[in-house]
Amino acid sequence: MKSKNDKNTHIYGIGRRKESTAIVYLIPFSESTSQLIAEVNGHKAEQYFQQNFIYLNKINLPLKLVKLEKKYKVIANVKGGGLTGQADSIQLGITRALCKLDKLNFRPVLKFNGFLKRDARIKERRKYGLKKARKASQYSKR
């Protein structure tokens, strides 16, 4: 997705976790600010994640690791799941976008720190005769 005019280019990555899917765009940003410049579903990340600094830090970690947190604006479109799954899927999307940006330098660092792993755990399906996936009704001896 890169062209000769690198300023107008955006890099994207897709991340998934549990039931949530995130399409993340990294857009070059010229101004340097002290806070994370991120948008999730049209809202500021702080507002979307309800000022929860665990989720905000999770999103910012891959950018901090490669020292690009003040150079790119993050725009994420997320659907499905809860806030934890959405934060993890955004993190994976950012990591994959960074790998597209500079594979030789960023990929080994991100892989060593475990950001490129797709957590494939999903909810187990409900089986017939049971109340949930594994929960059965109480056994009565008499």
Which tens digit of pLDDT belongs to each residue from 98-142? 999 888 889 999 999 999 999 999 889 999 999 999 999 999 998
Residue 73, exposed/middle/buried by CB under 10 A (0-12, 13-18, 19+)?
Answer: middle
**Length, in residues, of the chain:** 142
Q: Are 11 and 100 in contact (CB under 8 A)?
A: yes
Specify the 3-state DSSP secondary structure of 96.
helix
Tally of domains within the chain = 1
Q: Are 40 and 93 in contact (CB under 8 A)?
A: no
Q: Are 90 and 78 in contact (CB under 8 A)?
A: yes
- CATH number of the domain enclosing 64: 3.30.230.10
Q: Measured between alpha carbons, how far is 54 from 80 in angstroms, rounded to an integer? A: 20
Give the pLDDT of residue 3: 45
Q: Measured between alpha carbons, how far is 113 from 125 in angstroms, rounded to an integer? A: 32
Residue 17 lies in a domain: yes
Which tens digit of pLDDT belongs to each residue from 24-51? 999 987 765 556 678 999 999 999 999 9
Residue 74 lies in a domain: yes
- Supply the range of the domain harboring residue 104: 6-112
Give the pLDDT of residue 36: 67
Which tens digit of pLDDT belongs to each residue from 61-100? 999 999 988 888 999 999 999 999 999 999 999 999 999 9
Please determine, for residue 7, whether its predicted confidence score (pLDDT) is greater than 90. Answer: no
